[in-house]
């Protein structure tokens, strides 16, 4: 198996990308932007590869966190691996970087057909990725900044995501506003979004940052709420909250409620889940829009990449997964209350053609 580059493709104006939050001390992904792919832009070979077999063992080395994003992602991943006749060997460090390194060693020693890395600290994981590749094990990496271009790097277009959300902020708040910015530094995709945000502020002087808070932890929403309550009490002039992912948005909502500011502020975030949908659509909610993929669909895409890599298929060296802009108005207009209803309302969230093949069974994401 080897990885190869594929051409950059156009992405529709209505599509954006998101990431679940990842720990990474600095961006170190392979040079050049990841090609943004949409339905059928990259399909696997029609012919079943010689290396494909029932019983492929895929090791998943991950750092899951609080929130149902990770549960949905893992569910889609496991369902797709099982549908392909494979099995998942799970190693989940749950926020413990040292444990993840130890588990990665265990994964390598188990001699799987492929290893998937889902979230984690780049400085810790890059040496283990090198070690796995040197041992002849294909590695697929999701949402971790990496250096080894022999691994398949799956990411999201965080510049596009941030730009689309900021465009929505401008559309909803045409006269400008005072922004409470909720983000965490040192996390690769969030750092990329931060760069877009800073450019936005420089280019749009009618928008001013008046508060900045956010905490990435096992209790991100609660910890962010604690920081946010203090920050917002010192910035009562806030009219806009821009949160870099949904746990931060949840924390901001709690902080706004504690400061009796829910009716004075518009909130914008990233990610989607049934819980998020409930928060966006409840009466009086200030959460106006979010940028999201379907996490279960993303997990299934990564699973197909792992199966193909384990079967010896030539793959792109990096790719990014498209997603949708989801507004509060859309959810209310279509009476969406959960992820299954959202999938029905926005069928473009399901992308079986990305790394799809006749020999790789499609699954029902819902």
- The angle formed by the CA atoms of residues 79, 85 and 89, to the nearest 5 degrees, is 65
- Are the CB atoms for 267 and 241 separated by under 8 Å? yes
Neighbour-count burial of 109, counting CB atoms closer than 10 A to its CB (0-12 exposed, 13-18 middle, 19+ buried): exposed
Q: Are residues 142 and 173 in the same domain?
A: no
Write the pLDDT tens digit of every residue in 313-366. Answer: 988 788 888 778 999 999 999 999 999 999 999 988 888 888 999 999 999 887
Q: Are residues 88 and 182 in the same domain?
A: no
Q: Are residues 251 and 302 in the same domain?
A: no
- Residue 93 within any structural domain of the chain: yes
What's the pTM value of the predicted model, to 2 decimals? 0.84
- Structural domain including 64 reads 3-156+294-323
Average pLDDT over residues 274-302: 94
- Residue 17 within any structural domain of the chain: yes
Q: How many domains does the chain have?
A: 2
Give the Cα separation of 321 and 336 in Å (integer): 23
Nearest Cα to 319, choosing from 353, 345, 366?
353
pLDDT at 316: 77
Q: Are residues 32 and 177 in the same domain?
A: no
Cβ contacts of 318 within 8 Å, gap of 6 or more: 5, 29, 30, 32, 34, 35, 152, 153, 154, 155
Q: Are residues 262 and 118 in the same domain?
A: no
Q: Are residues 168 and 265 in the same domain?
A: yes
Give the Cα separation of 259 and 255 in Å (integer): 6
* CATH number of the domain to which 240 belongs: 3.40.50.2300
- Residue 150 within any structural domain of the chain: yes
Strand partners, 57: 87
- Residue 357 within any structural domain of the chain: no
Q: Are residues 129 and 162 in the same domain?
A: no
Write the pLDDT tens digit of every residue in 250-262. Answer: 999 999 999 999 9
Q: Where are the alpha helices (DSSP H) in the chain?
A: 68-83, 97-109, 122-134, 158-172, 188-203, 220-233, 246-258, 274-281, 295-310, 328-333, 339-345
The mean-pLDDT minimum among 100-109, 202-211, 224-233, 267-276 falls in 267-276
Q: Which of 259-262's residues contact partners 24+ apart within 8 Å by CB, and which partners?
A: 259/229, 259/232, 259/233, 261/232, 261/236, 262/286
Q: Are residues 146 and 43 in the same domain?
A: yes
- Residue 130 within any structural domain of the chain: yes
Q: Are residues 27 and 131 in the same domain?
A: yes
- Residue 342 within any structural domain of the chain: no
Give the Cα separation of 204 and 326 in Å (integer): 24
Q: Are residues 194 and 124 in the same domain?
A: no
Give the Cα separation of 139 and 120 in Å (integer): 14
- Residue 366 within any structural domain of the chain: no
- Residue 338 within any structural domain of the chain: no
Element (H, E) at 359: none
Q: Are residues 148 and 58 in the same domain?
A: yes
Q: Are residues 49 and 111 in the same domain?
A: yes
pLDDT at 151: 93
pLDDT at 224: 97
């Amino acid at each position: 198996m080897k990885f190869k580059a594929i051409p950059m493709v156009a992405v529709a104006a209505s599509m954006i990308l998101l990431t679940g939050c990842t720990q990474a001390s600095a961006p170190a992904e392979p040079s050049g932007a990841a090609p943004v792919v949409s339905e059928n832009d990259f399909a696997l070979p029609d012919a079943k590869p010689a290396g494909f077999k029932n019983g492929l063992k895929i090791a998943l080395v991950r750092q899951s966190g609080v929130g149902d994003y990770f549960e949905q992602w893992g569910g889609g991943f496991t369902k797709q691996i099982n549908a392909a006749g494979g099995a998942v060997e799970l190693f989940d460090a749950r926020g413990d970087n040292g444990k993840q390194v130890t588990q990665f060693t265990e994964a390598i020693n188990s001699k799987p057909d492929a290893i998937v890395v889902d979230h984690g600290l780049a400085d810790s994981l890059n040496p283990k990725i090198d070690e796995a590749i040197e041992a002849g094990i294909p590695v697929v990496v999701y949402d971790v900044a990496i250096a080894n271009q022999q691994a398949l790097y799956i990411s999201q277009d965080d510049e596009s995501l941030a730009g689309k959300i900021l465009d929505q902020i401008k559309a909803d708040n045409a006269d400008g506003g005072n922004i409470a910015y909720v983000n965490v530094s040192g996390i690769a995709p969030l750092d990329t979004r931060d760069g877009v945000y800073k450019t936005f502020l420089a280019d749009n002087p009618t928008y001013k940052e008046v508060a900045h808070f956010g905490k990435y932890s096992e209790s991100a929403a609660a910890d962010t709420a604690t920081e946010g309550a203090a920050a917002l009490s010192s910035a009562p002039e806030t009219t806009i909250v821009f949160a870099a992912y949904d746990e931060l948005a949840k924390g901001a909502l709690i902080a706004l409620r504690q400061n009796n500011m829910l009716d004075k502020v518009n909130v914008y975030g990233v990610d989607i889940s049934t819980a998020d949908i409930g928060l966006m659509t409840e009466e009086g909610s200030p959460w106006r829009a979010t940028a999201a993929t379907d996490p279960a669909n993303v997990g299934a895409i990564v699973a197909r990449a792992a199966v193909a890599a384990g079967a010896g298929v030539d793959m792109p060296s990096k790719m990014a997964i498209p997603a949708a802009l989801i507004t509060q108005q859309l959810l209310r207009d279509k009476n969406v209350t959960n992820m299954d209803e959202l999938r029905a309302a926005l069928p473009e969230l399901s992308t079986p053609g990305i790394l799809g093949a006749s020999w790789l069974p499609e699954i029902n994401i819902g």
